[in-house]
Every structure is written in C-alpha cells, then in structure tokens.
Structure 1
Amino acid sequence: METVVVRAAPVELAGLTGLTPLSATTGGTDSQEIYDVLRSRWGVVAPVDMEPGVPVWLVMGHAEICEITRNESQFSRDPRNWRWHYDGLLSERSALLGISPREPRNSSYHHDGERRRRLRQPLDDALEALPEKLVVAQVEEVSRRLVEELGSSGEADLVPHWAKKVGFLAVTALFGFDQDTAEQMMADSAHIMNHTSEAPQARDRMGRNLMAHVQDRKTTAGADLTSSFVRHPSFHDDREIADSMSVPLIAASEFLTAWIALTLRLLLTDQRFAARWTGGRIALDEALDEVLWREAPAANPPLPRYAMNDLELDGKLVRKGDALIMAVAAANQDPLVHTGNMWDEVGNRAHLAWGVGPHRCPASRQARIIARVAISRLLTELDLELAVEDHDLAWVPSPWVRHPQALPVRYSRARSSGTEIYEVAR
C-alpha cells in the first residue's frame, strides 16, 4: 500500500493571535532566553507582534538575514510596500509610524535602488573625508564637559549622565551644531523615540532645527558634516539634506547609547573580563566587539524589510506586503559564526551589528571611535563601582535596542586622572 505524505500548509501571519511581543526579546537579564523559546517553537523565522495586534516576521538566522538584507529587489525598505499601510490597517496613533511612516522620508533609509544610492552617496563621501583626529577631539571635548558636570566624587546613573549624552552630543558636534541646540535636539529625540505625548511637537522642533542649520551652512560653511552635505551635488533640495542628517542622529541616540552602556556594564560586572582588562591583556576595541557579539545593542534594528512577492522562508509563507525584522542579537549566536568562547573570538567581526548589504551602516568606524574614546576618558578620569547588584539592573522596555535602563555607580577621581591609560585612536 502506497504511503501518502501530507505536507502541512506553511504558517502565515494572517489569523495568528497571542503572539510574543517583540519587546520581550530585549527586556530580560538573559539576552537569548526569548529568542531560544521562539526558535524552538517556530524555527529561525518566527511571528511576533511589533505592537499589540501588528504581526511581523522575526528573522533569527544569520544566513537568512544576510540573504534578505542583500536583496532589496525582493525585500524593500520603502514603507509604502507594507500592507498595513496600503490596506489602511495601522492606527494613526501607532508608535510604529516613527520607523515606518506612510510616506518615506527623503533619505536613503527608506529607499531602494538608484534613489537609495543617490541619497546614500553624500553620507559615504562625508564620512570618508572626516578626519579621525577631528572625531577624537570632539568626543574628548564632550567627555571633558561631562566629567566636569559629574564632579570629583559622588553617585550617578551612567545611562542618562554619560551613555545617552556623550554619543549624541559628539555626533551633533560633528554636524556643527552648537551645544544649546544639540541638547534641545537630544531631548526631542528622546520624546520621538519613546513616543511620548510631546513627540509630535518634538518632531516638528527637530525638523525646524535641522532645516535652519542647513540654511546657515549655505552661507557659513565649515569643516563639519552638514557643510559636506550642503556642497554635495547628489542632493536635490534642503529637505533631502535635513532628512539625511536625521538618520545618524537617531542612530547616535539609540545605538551608541546602548553600546556604551553595555560595555561599561561589562567592565564593571564581568570578573573574567575585568581581570584581563586590568591586567592589560585585552584592548578596549576587543571589549567593544565582545559586547556586539554577546548583547547586540541594536538587538532588533528598527529597519523593517517589506516582501515584494509571496515566498516561502524557513517553512513560513511570507506574503507580499509582510514586514520582516532582522533579529541581530539572535543571529549573532548562530553556531555557524559564533563559537561561544569569548576569548577565541577576539578580533572576529562577523557579527551583524553593522548590518550587511546596501543598507549597511556607513559610520561603523566613527561610531567605534566615539564609543572607544568616551569609555576610555570616563575610566581614565574616574574610579567607578556599580552601586547595585548586576542581577538587579532593569532593562529598557524597547523592542529595538537592549541596554540597562539605569547604571547607578559610585565614583571618585581616579589616581591616574589626566593620564591616558586606555587605548585610544589618534
């Protein structure tokens, strides 16, 4: 008698309910716990809710992420290709409009193909021409001011008082903003990313600040990124310049905050790492890389892809218009690229923290310098001690990034203050 094998219909998003919230993947002490649960139930592609009732495919396989992000003809970054927009399903009050607006902004972030290349080229060119010494000098100056604000001893929360400030203020300085405007934009960025009641006003205010700065640099050009943008022939108008400036500012407010906070936590709590660090057997770059592997600050980057056709992926039926989120933190634990031995992997940068494909982060070199100098300067100037147990730290309730909500420390002026004792690019 012939045996007939009936193949189960592949799972699709339509009709699924009771899905795991995407924010659950970033909120626990164990950065892999929820990913492991999802992987054991669904495989490397799992349905989750970006917000209640708004499903998305979460892609957790290293190979699958590379395949998707390198293929912009099949997986678009243009939010107009999301069926929740063109079917009118997304609420006007949804926080997701911040990352997936109904109409794409005039930056490479939301475009594919030739338009992406045109809008991306000015950023690539400006960053390539930016002297590393200038980046170091700006971060040193911001760090000096922040150390002065902290004083010689006391208690502080390093997330709002260091990690959030140093990255954002350094990036705005590289764009040529004055300190007062930069601090206003930092506050506005927090409202926008946290979708507070002040977010609409903050978004308008930030837009006005960006446009005013573009206009100013047309008459008073300097040695900053905005001036490079203004001079670049690829931009067609001021709105494209302003929108393209907003992308690295958002990255500074989210990714750099998380990377710096997580690295400080590692150095303050991981005794294996601290022993090698204080013994001079590992450089700060290696500590930063270890955080990218173990924690992935942008755990689920807010960069959805939208399927352009129906297709099957890991046994799931991805419909045209479905959104997909790349779970970088999960993919970095793929045994094909990650052995699990932190010391064997010193120098291994096959992680996906910077992305892959045509939308890969263009500022990885500058971000590394900012994080390295900021952490180096803090640890050179101050002796730090975590004021709570590591297991008592709470984590930010974000679906996108992972870092402690607070990092309370006691500190005093370091005996080596004023002497560079950590490796810094010059």
Structure 2
Amino acid sequence: MTQQTTGGTASLESHTGLTSLTEITSSPDPQAHYARLRKQWGAVAPVEIERKDDVVVPAWLVLGHAENCQVMRSELDYSRNAANWRWNVENLLPPGTAIGTYTPSVPRPTAFYHDGDERKRLREPLDEALAALDERVVRERTTDMCERVIDRMGPSGSGDLVKAYCRPIGFLAMTTTLGFDLETGAMLMADAASLVSGDGDRVAKAQANTAGIVLEHIRQRREEGGEDLLSRLAVHPNFAHDGEIASSAIVPVSAAAIFLTAWITETLHQVLADRSFAARVSGGRLTLDGTLDEVLWRRSPIAQSPAPRFALNDVELGGRRIRRGDALVLGIAAANRDPAVHTGDPWDEVDNRSHLSWGTGPHACPAPRLARLIARTAVDQLLRHMDVTLTEPTDDLPWAASAWVRHSERLPATWSQVPTAM
C-alpha cells in the first residue's frame, strides 16, 4: 500500500523541505530518489524546481507512467502556456530565475508554449518542414560532420569525450540540418551551454543572442531559398511575422543543445562502461537502434521535461488534489522506470518504444526520426572509426548539474583511430 505523509488535498505551497529537481537529476542514483518519493507520496509528489533568494519555487513531479500520459494528452486540464501558472499570475517569482526564462508569463510565439488552435497553427510549419527533409541527405551531412570531428581529434589522443565529440556532433548536425553554416553553428553552440545552466541571466542572454542570429538568417533564407528547415519555415504562410519563425526555429536548436548531446553521451557511456551491455551490442544481440532505445528506458537523457504543464482547473491526479494554477513537471525518467510498466528485464525493452522520452499527445516531440538518425549516425561513426577507452571509473564521473537533463558531465577517455581496411 502506498504510504503518504499528508492528505491528498494539501496545497502545493503548504509543503516544506522539498527535494530539489537538480539534486535528483545530478545524483548518482536518481531512481532511488524517485522510488523514495513514490513510496512517500504516490504517483505525484511535491518538489522544488528552483530556489532563488531563499524563495522555493514548487511544483508537482508526476512520477507514474499513466499519470504522465494523462497530463500530456489533455490540453483541457493541463496547459503549456505559463500565463496560467499561479506564480506568474500572482507575480511570485523572484527576478532572475531560470524557470522564469523557460516559462515566460507572456508566451513566446511558438507551438512549444501554446495550446489548441494556436498550437496547431504554429506547429504545422515545423511538422511539414521536417516531413520534407531528405533523410539520406541528413545522414550524409551528419556522417561528414562526424568525420570532420574525428579527424580533429587526431589519430590518437586523450581528453573529455563529451567536449571533443558528443556536444559538437549533436549540436552541429542539427544546426546544419536547419541550414546554418559551420561558423554560425559554432556561434550558436557557444550560447547553447547557457540554456541549461540554471542561471536566469545567462539563459536570457543566450536566448537573445540566439534569436538575433536566427532572425538574420531567416531574412537571408527568404531571399536565397533552399531545402533546409529554416528555408522552408521562412516562407510558410502560417507565420504572421519573423518573430514566430525565429521562435519556432529556436526550439530544435535548443533541443540539439539539450537532448541530442545527452542521448549521444549516455549511449556511448553505456557501451563503453558496461561490458555486458557492450557484449550484447558487439555480439549482434542488440542493434544500434535497440541500444538507443534501451538508453532511453534505463538512462533517459531527459530526466524531467523542461516544459512544465499548468493546471487549468482543480483536478485529481494520482490520488492528489491539483489546484488551478499549479505547475506540474513531467518525470520522464521516473515514468520510464515505473514498476507498473517496467519489468526490469532488459529484453522487454528491445525495440520497445513505449517510453515517454518523446512525449505523447499534442505536444509530442516533432522530430523523433531526425533525432534518432543523428544520434545513430554519431554513435556508429565513433565506434566504427575510433577505439575508445574510458580512463576513470564510471562511479566517479560527475553528472551534469541540471533539473532537466541527465548525462555525464565529462567522459575522460583515450582514443585512437581504427586503421582503414585496404
């Protein structure tokens, strides 16, 4: 029987001593935290999103797989629009919070922050542009990018694999697909690290810099034309002004900074550090796609969705009373390991894609195929062309300090290029 410390009707703000999301995500064993919260609270638990000037910003963390699906699929009860958040309505947020920059009270003009008809209008151009991409060209460009980065790593060397390979590949492959040249992609990557820094001022500055670069390139693409994502977005009739185009383009740029880097990093970490896992891959019992999926199940790079939902009504979720205006954080990693859907048998996850790393419902990720194509190519190219060995015990490696993304902060390694067969 689930043990709860308080009644299910207590208000969110009445709870104290809350566990920090960053503490959970960057801990050696986040699943232990989720299990403790699940035992104490059930499928929905109060947590701390952020602390600023001694003010704790609270939210409900949704732990259950079924409860996460319920929130993701219902725009009638749970909104992406932060204008519905009580902390915005009542002006409770201290200035300079990172969550305030992610969830502005005046939502940016992108489907990411809207619901209903407005979401549909703004989402349609991105869906159409992604559907029109030639995946063969994307794969070729990503392969070329991998070869460039591998050549830059030299015939042999040592260092941080995240910095040397995972981050530049994930980011530059996505920005190239959008239509940016390598120099511009590098400029965007310099700002990208600030997007998940947790520092509100750094996040705001990075967002402004990124928006300026994207706006300039939108005007160029409209004049020159092209087959890349940005060129297609630049001429789509659904958009009312360039600000809407820029906001829509920034979403996949941010996704590259946040998700692809983490997915590539954790897949390589799993293969390089876990001998039994590596044996299943090298022995052909687990395909590369299966490897990528098992990482999403076991080590979800998105620990919590960086897009909270906001209750539009007083509702009950997982036996807990949610008040109108409450923030709900979707616990992706917790849901993927929910005992109700996760047996613990790794073979149950092979080619099983019912995990929630892409989300579900009207706000599901628009680019799962593109992300998989880039991640698969990046992992395959490194393992094909480099002999890589981690040089520190995996238990000693720190995790990135983030409330949302979980991946190794660094992967100290040695590497040498595999000789090309004649």
Shorter chain as normaliser: what TM range?
A: over 0.9
- The residue identity in structure 2 corresponding to 1:81 is N
Structure 2: distance between partners of 1:363 and 1:106:
19
1:219 corresponds to: 223
- SS of match in other structure, 1:343: helix
User: What's 1:392 paired with?
Assistant: 396
Q: SS in structure 2 opposite 1:300?
A: coil
Indicate yes or no: 2:131 matched with 1:128: yes
1:341 corresponding residue in structure 2 = 345
The SS at the match of 1:11 is coil
SS at match of 1:208: helix
> Taking structure 1 as reference, are residues 418 and 409 closer, same or farther at Cα in structure 2, changes over 3 Å only?
farther
Alignment of 1:3-42 (within 5 A): 8=7, 10-42=9-41
The corresponding residue for 2:298 is 294
Structure 2 counterpart of 1:172: 175
SS at match of 2:347: coil
Q: In the alignment, is residue 358 of structure 1 matched against residue 362 of structure 2?
A: yes
Q: Which amino acid aligns with 1:363?
A: A
TM-score norm. by structure 2 comes to: 0.95
RMSD: 1.5
CA change 1:377–1:114 in 2 (3 A) is same
Q: Which residue of 2 aligns with 1:144?
A: 147
- Ranges in structure 1 where 5+ consecutive residues have no aligned partner: 1-6, 420-426
CA contact (8 A) 2:196 2:402 kept: no
What secondary structure does 1:358 align onto?
helix
| Equivalent residue, structure 2, for 1:104 | 107
The amino acid across from 2:64 in the alignment is G
Map of 2:253 onto structure 1 = 249
Among candidates 411, 415, 418, match of residue 415 of structure 2: 411
Select between 114-123 and 138-147 the one with higher mean Cα deviation: 138-147
1:69-97 per-residue CA deviation (whole Å, 9 max, x = no partner) reads: 11011100001000100100001211112
Give distance in 1, aligned partners of 2:96 and 2:413.
37
* Whole-angstrom distance in 2 between the partners of 1:35 and 1:120: 33
SS at match of 2:361: coil
Q: 2:210 aligns with which of 206, 209, 222?
A: 206
- Equivalenced residues, count: 412
Partner Cα distance (2:163, 2:85) in 1: 35
Farther-moved stretch of structure 1 (206-215 vs 157-166)? 157-166
Answer with 69-78 or 159-168: which moved more. 159-168
Q: Spell out, residue by residue over 1:127-170, the C-alpha distance to the aligned partner (whole angstroms, 9 max, x if none).
A: 11101101101211211111111001010211122111111101
AA at the equivalent of 1:26: T
Query: Do residues 327 (structure 1) and 326 (structure 2) align?
Result: no
Alpha-carbon distance in 1 for matches of 2:7, 2:379: 52
Report the more deviating stretch, 183-192 or 386-395.
183-192
Select between 126-135 and 310-319 the one with higher mean Cα deviation: 310-319
Correspondence for 2:3: none
Q: Measure the CA separation in 2 of the matches of 1:418 and 1:226.
A: 39
Of 313-322 and 123-132, deviating more is 313-322
Say which is worse superposed, 299-308 or 23-32, in terms of deviation.
Answer: 23-32
TM-score by length of 1: 0.94
Residue number in structure 2 paired with 1:85 = 88
Per the TM alignment, residue 312 of structure 1 is displaced from its structure 2 partner at its CA by 2.2
Distance 1:398 1:13, change over 3 A: same
Q: Secondary structure at the match of 2:30?
A: coil
CA distance in 2, matches of 1:409, 1:418: 24
Give 1:30 deviation, angstroms. 2.0
Q: Separation in 1 of the partners of 2:8 and 2:365?
A: 37
Q: Aligned AA for 1:367?
A: A
Measure, in 2, the Cα distance between the counterparts of 1:360 and 1:254: 16
1:280 offset after TM fit, Å?
2.5
1:119 paired with 2:127, answer no
Counterpart contact for 1:255–1:401, Cα < 8 Å: yes
Q: Take 1:220 and 1:320, find their aligned partners in 2: how far apart are those partners?
A: 48
CA separation of 1:276/1:184 partners in 2, compared to 1, >3 Å: closer, same or farther? Answer: same
Q: Identity of paired residues, percent?
A: 46
Deviation at 1:272, TM superposition (A): 1.3
Q: Which amino acid aligns with 2:388?
A: L
Contact persistence 1:146–1:162 (CA under 8 A): yes
Tell me the alpha carbon deviations over residues 342-385 of structure 1, each in whole angstroms, 9 at most, x when there is no partner.
12321111100000000000100000000000111111111000
Greater CA deviation, 193-202 or 287-296?
Answer: 193-202
Q: Which amino acid aligns with 2:148?
A: R
Pairing partner for 1:275 from 264, 279, 286: 279
Matched, 1:63 2:62: no
Unaligned runs of 5+ in 2: 1-5
- Structure 2: how far apart are the matches of 1:253 and 1:158? 16
Deviation at 1:257, TM superposition (A): 0.8
Cα displacement (A) at 1:8:
4.8
Cα distance in 2 between the residues matched to 1:112 and 1:366 = 24
The amino acid of 1:84's aligned partner reads: W
Please name the residue that 1:43 is paired with.
42
Match of 1:261 in 2: 265
**Which ranges of 4 or more aligned residues in structure 1 deviate by more than 3 Å?**
195-201
1:381–1:418 CA contact under 8 A, matched in 2 = no
CA shift digits 1:4-38 (9 cap, x unpaired): xxx95623212221100011221122230110111
Q: Helix, strand or coil: the match of 1:362?
A: coil
Q: Is the 8 A contact 2:195 2:254 kept in 1?
A: no
- Measure how far apart 1:194 and its partner are: 1.1
Matched residue SS, 2:321: strand
Letter matched to residue 185 of structure 1: L
- 1:423 equivalent in structure 2: none
SS of alignment partner, residue 47 of structure 1: strand
3-state SS, counterpart of residue 403 of structure 1: coil
